Amino acid sequence: MLQTQKADMTRILLTGANGQVGAELRQTLGAVGEVIAIDRTQWDLSNPDAIRPVVQAVQPHLIVNAAAYTAVDKAESELELATTINGKAPQVLAEAAEKLDAGLIHISTDYVFDGQQSRPYLDTDATNPLGAYGQSKLMGEEAVRSICRKHLIVRTAWVYGVQGKGNFVKTMLRVGAQRSELRVVTDQIGAPTWARDLALAIAQLAPHLTPETVGTYHYTNSGVCSWYDFAIAIFEEARTLDFPLTVQQVVPISTEEYPTPARRPAFSVLSLQKTAALLGSHPPYWRDSLRKMLAGLRAVETTIASVAK
């Protein structure tokens, strides 16, 4: 299953291939080389020792790590598992990539910051994660940065996609179809990111992986909003596409009114200047991408419904 067939092509080992970003990367990375995609059914990242033989069998020129433990609140009680998947597994990937002189693109998160700034975070700003998830992701970053010479770390935030199961957009559509009133946090500010746009950007970044460009980059959609703003936009756009909704009112609340096991950064907007300069273009505006994602999701749901009849 993991054997390659075209020795003259760039071989790309993609982890987390069935996640919301990984599923998009399976498509976008095809323009870069031959993609050997693996998911959790083929490779258990909670067992980092299983990584080395897979990498050795594939002999990739580039590894794109889209696999991660992303349950932010559960990480508080599953610190060891989160640390193994988000911290130790990237370390082993970095060691394997370095041994093969392969490149490594590793996806990280805005949660490595504490959210105390009032301006977009630069890649050079000091990190200070507030919870176990952010700590585990920072551990992975540091391992990649210190071990693999040919690396790109891509921090992103507020990711959603057609393929995702637990993302904010799909959650809002589900509860918005069930309840007349929702309460959504308004004092956490960030930038939503469509998984398709992120995957396209990573595919564009991959050919730029050179000794001069090695480092940490930020990618989200352009613009900023609160979770409350995001929810309002989701419902406005969804209504134009005839999604089934019963929600009549969205009530803005504070973080204190919605306690969670993990603390979230209050302001986690990431500066996009460095990435935009390398790619030669600015990321799409978040609401435009939301509209496209919802149209795609509606098309998928309509097709499924018609087949089921």
Calpha distance 244→242 (Å, rounded): 6
Kindly write down the DSSP assignment for every residue of 109-157, as one continuous string: EGGGS-S--SSPBPTTSPP--SSHHHHHHHHHHHHHHHH-SSEEEEEE-
Backbone angle region of 120, left / alpha / beta, with phi > 0 → left and psi within -120 to 50 → alpha: beta
Find all residues with CB under 8 Å of 305, minimum gap 6, and list them.
Answer: none
Catalytic residues: 133
The answer for residues whose C-beta is within 8 angstroms of residue 7's C-beta and 6 or more apart is none
Give CA–CA dist 180/205, Å, rounded.
43
| Secondary structure element (H or E) that encloses residue 96, with its range | helix 89-100
- Residue 43 phi/psi, 5-degree rounding, is -155, 110
Between the CA atoms of 21, 112, 12 and 220, what dihedral angle is there, to the nearest 10 degrees? 50
SS3 content of the chain, % helix, strand, coil (to 5): 45, 15, 40
101: Cα within 13 Å, side-chain hemisphere: 1
Task: With CA atoms as reference, report the closest residue to 21 among 139, 182, 158.
Answer: 158
Residues 6+ positions from 149 with CB-CB distance below 8 Å:
98, 211, 214
